[in-house]
A and B are shown apart, each in its own frame.
Chain A
Amino acid sequence: MSDKLFNLVTGDILEQDVELSLAELCQTVQLNAEQIIELVEHGILEPLGREPANWRFMGISVQRVRCARRLRRDLGVNMAGAALALDLLEELRLLRGQLTRVEQRSRDET
């Protein structure tokens, strides 16, 4: 297909290629610095670096902020509850991955 060439869009992998400063994260998720700092205080975000001025956020922070916001808006959980839910969801995701692999293997063997 000839139109493939002229409008092929390339992107980067959020979890691997993207690192954000505090200001960049604020802009991306449309929150102010105080709100981001609150998320850091609750462990929802874990930036590298000691001071807010040189914090570096992993790209996945963007998804975590949004997920926390949806959980708070839709389910009425508070910040600590959202932090707990995010951690549990992450653990669930890993366990589901392992379970799928184990189930596929036992299906192969039968």
Chain B
Amino acid sequence: MEEVGYNHTNRHFLTGLQSNYRGHMEYKDYYQIMGVERDASQDEIKRAYRKQARKYHPDVSKEADAEVRFKEVGEAYEVLKDPEKRAAYDQLGANWQDGQEFRAPPDWDQGFEFHGGGFTGTDAEQFSDFFENLFGGGGFQRQSGQAYAQQGDYHARGEDTHARVKIELEDSYRGANRSLSLKHTELGSDGRPEIKTRILNVRIPKGVYPGQHIRLAGQGSPGINRGGAGDLYLEVEFQEHPIYKVQGKDVYLTLPVAPWEAALGGSIKVPTPAGVVDLKIPPNASSGKKLRLKGRGIPAKQAGDFYVELDIALPKADSEKTRQAYAEFEKAFDFNPRDTWESKS
């Protein structure tokens, strides 16, 4: 069984990890998350937000926790950009630590009146329990699809959802079946979101390569009333392979060869993901020489190529006999590897 990562689109259906979804709640230090002082001006907060949003935007950032950070920054900005919410948040005092177990003091929000407006609405469902506890009740809840659904005459296609799947290079050469465990949130009978897990057995099509997406029609979010379900997109990643490197649909192998194999040429048995092949090495091959096996890369519709890069390995002179052999070598050749330097100097 494989756990898959989540893309940040359509966050309210395939959610990331929220271990504290229920149960205890942690204090969030929105100033620390935003990287500003507690007395920062609204302009400073806006600048800090823009910078953080660019840095952690999941489409742009390669940081492993970009998605989580991006959500946190969005939540922090939701509070700090709004003077009403910010003032209420400041009421909690500056003595809390980020991550500290939190319980809102009774009547903490007395004297504050929140206005639903000014709420960006993007992915509000994904704000933390902490946020919901402070600001969640009044007027902030977005009307969800389920709420519409009860009206009966509203139809909409379900949303497309996204996940990542990590496969082996060999899976792409042969095709494979993979069991995925996908998490998503659903409204439970008590009206609170619950994390549900669903197992999906997926056929990995032959010839798929990293960065491509497998589209599973109708496996996304359910539609509303008579609207059809959305699609599920699986972004393909490969496990790192001990000997092959993959780039696009081409596969690379570094092949260690003995000096005499490189010098004299000949046939060497070379492993490829599709099986062993006999590779002809031309005489006087140099280290780093690339040999192409056309069409033996990933078997996409237009198959990729398989590249073998020669790496000449020098045996150690560690006995009388082998030292003798190197000495013979020297006698036999009139060879100076640095002669191009000397001719210039």
Question: Is the CB–CB distance between B216 and A9 below 8 Å?
Answer: yes
Bound Cα distance A92, B239 (Å): 20
Question: Is the CB–CB distance between B201 and A8 below 8 Å?
Answer: yes
Question: Is the CB–CB distance between B57 and A101 below 8 Å?
Answer: no
Chain B, interface residues (CB within 8 Å), range: 35 or more
Q: Say yes or no for B185: interface residue by CB 8 A criterion.
A: no
Enumerate chain A residues within 8 angstroms of B225, measured Cβ to Cβ: none
Bound Cα distance A4, B213 (Å): 22
Bound Cα distance A85, B57 (Å): 12
Question: Is the CB–CB distance between A3 and B201 below 8 Å?
Answer: yes
Partner of A8 from the list B59, B202, B210, B240 (CB cut-off 8 Å) is B202
CB within 8 Å of B: which of A31-63? 59-60, 63
Enumerate chain A residues within 8 angstroms of B126, measured Cβ to Cβ: none
Q: Say yes or no for B211: interface residue by CB 8 A criterion.
A: yes
Question: Is the CB–CB distance between B60 and A89 below 8 Å?
Answer: yes
Bound Cα distance A82, B83 (Å): 31
- Interface SS of A by simple majority: helix
Partner of A59 from the list B215, B217, B219, B248 (CB cut-off 8 Å) is B215
Question: Is the CB–CB distance between B214 and A11 below 8 Å?
Answer: yes
Enumerate chain A residues within 8 angstroms of B311, measured Cβ to Cβ: 109
Q: Say yes or no for B208: interface residue by CB 8 A criterion.
A: yes
- Number of contacts between A and B (CB, 8 Å)? 100
Of A9, A12, A73, A89, chain B has the most CB atoms within 10 Å of the CB of: A9
Question: Is the CB–CB distance between A18 and B215 below 8 Å?
Answer: yes
Q: Say yes or no for A80: interface residue by CB 8 A criterion.
A: no
B188 → chain A closest CB, angstroms = 24
Question: Is the CB–CB distance between B201 and A16 below 8 Å?
Answer: no
Bound Cα distance A104, B240 (Å): 10
Known pairs A73-B122, A101-B252, A108-B254; A9 contacts B213 (CB<8 A): no
Enumerate chain A residues within 8 angstroms of B323, measured Cβ to Cβ: none
Bound Cα distance A47, B124 (Å): 35
Chain A's closest residue to B234 (CB) is A11
Question: Is the CB–CB distance between B212 and A10 below 8 Å?
Answer: no
Interface size on A, residues (CB 8 A): 38
A109 → chain B closest CB, angstroms = 7
Enumerate chain B residues within 8 angstroms of A100, measured Cβ to Cβ: 245
Bound Cα distance A67, B201 (Å): 28
Enumerate chain A residues within 8 angstroms of B226, measured Cβ to Cβ: none
Partner of B201 from the list A4, A76, A97, A108 (CB cut-off 8 Å) is A4
Enumerate chain B residues within 8 angstroms of A17, measured Cβ to Cβ: 301
B177 → chain A closest CB, angstroms = 6
Question: Is the CB–CB distance between A9 and B200 below 8 Å?
Answer: yes
Partner of A9 from the list B70, B203, B245, B309 (CB cut-off 8 Å) is B203
Question: Is the CB–CB distance between B205 and A10 below 8 Å?
Answer: yes
Q: Say yes or no for B247: interface residue by CB 8 A criterion.
A: yes
Chain A's closest residue to B206 (CB) is A13
Known pairs A13-B214, A14-B215, A108-B254; A8 contacts B203 (CB<8 A): yes
Binding site for B on A (CB under 8 A): 3-4, 7-18, 28, 59-60, 63, 66-67, 70-71, 73-76, 85, 89, 93, 96-98, 100-101, 104-105, 108-109
Binding site for A on B (CB under 8 A): 8-9, 50, 53-54, 57, 59-60, 62, 70, 122, 160, 177, 179, 200-203, 205, 207-208, 210-217, 219, 232-234, 240, 245, 247-248, 252, 254, 300-301, 309, 311
